[in-house]
Amino acid sequence: MAIDEGGNLKFITLARVIKPQGNKGEVSVLLSTDFPEKFAERKNILALLKDGKHRELEIEDFWPHKGRMVLKFHGVNGINDAEVLTGCDLQVPQTERVQLEAGTYFVSDLVGCEVFVTSGGTPKSIGKITDVEFNTGDAPLLTVMEGKREHLIPFAGEFIVNLATAAKRIEMKLPDGLLEIDAPLNADEKKQQHQL
């Protein structure tokens, strides 16, 4: 069972309720999962309400609509009932999330990991992952923040030396110069740029 440091059960967000959809209590949701077909197997889901409490909901039906998903819950039968859910995250306990194939990871497991770069000696921290961007080429890009500096690093198997999401630590061996691609200009480079 997944428990946080405070002894609380951990949850995974599958979707966020955007608005009521129709007049029978349906809601339009923005998905945070790559497995929307699992709604067919999942009958119960938890809505994280604005006061921080969970409300258990039973899924009655679901269908795709204009790039989003529409959900109908048992007992949510009108627009007013649906409006109460607007803005809520729809979650399940972390223990109920889909099992992934070896070598694949949940974004929520990667975000917050500290990235260390190994180059001949002791691994050096370059910051923590704040986001993962997709549709950027052959591999997703990790957004790693080092103070105010942002690094965009391909999440490619050939760069990974050690990945321990439970310990929130990733060690990578990166090609020479990769971290300098987006680096701010030093004083000499700024001076040279002004002369052009």
**Together in a domain, 49 and 76:** yes
Amino acid at 61: D
76 and 119 belong to one structural domain: no
Share of the chain above pLDDT 70, in %: 86
Single-letter residue type at 65:
H
The mean pLDDT of 52-75, rounded to a whole number, is 92
pLDDT at site 3: 37
> Is the distance from CB of 129 to CB of 110 less than 8 angstroms?
yes
pLDDT 10s digits, 67-80? 889 999 999 999 99
Region 118-137 average pLDDT? 83
Same domain for 85 and 111: no
Q: Percentage of the chain surpassing pLDDT 90?
A: 40
Whether residue 89 sits in one domain with residue 111: no
Q: Mark whether 86 and 117 lie in a shared domain.
A: no
* pLDDT mean over 124-134: 89
- Measured between alpha carbons, how far is 90 from 95 in angstroms, rounded to an integer? 15
In a domain, 25, yes or no: yes
Report the pLDDT value the prediction gives residue 101, as an integer from 0 to 100: 77
More confident residue, 190 or 13: 13
Measured distance CA(105)–CA(111) in Å, rounded: 11
Find the radius of gyration of the CA atoms of the chain. Answer: 22
> pLDDT grade, residue 115 (50/70/90)?
very high
Q: Mean of the per-residue pLDDT values for the chain?
A: 83
Pairing of strands 11-20, 89-93: antiparallel
Residue 111 is predicted with a pLDDT of 87
Confidence of residue 4 (pLDDT cuts 50, 70, 90): very low
- Residue-range definition of the domain harbouring residue 127: 107-175
Q: Which residues touch 26 (CB under 8 Å, ≥6 apart)?
A: 20, 70, 71, 72, 82
Residue 194 lies in a domain: no
Domain termination site, one of 65, 96, 127? 96
Question: Cα 162–165–167 angle (5° rounding)?
Answer: 90
Which has the higher per-residue pLDDT, 73 or 10?
Answer: 73
Q: Which residue has the tokens 């961007």?
A: 133
Q: Are residues 127 and 86 in the same domain?
A: no
Residues 75 and 149 in one domain: no
Task: List the CATH number of the domain containing 49.
Answer: 2.40.30.60
* Domain presence at residue 119: yes
Residue 57 above 60 pLDDT? Answer: yes
Same domain, residue pair 58 and 127? no
pLDDT for res 8: 53
- The CATH number given to whatever domain includes residue 116 is 2.30.30.240
Looking at the fold, whether 113 and 57 belong to one and the same domain comes out as no
Q: Are residues 119 and 68 in the same domain?
A: no
Average pLDDT of the residues in 184-193? 55
E strand or H helix at 142, and its extent? strand 141-146
**Choice between 129 and 187, residue whose per-residue pLDDT is larger:** 129
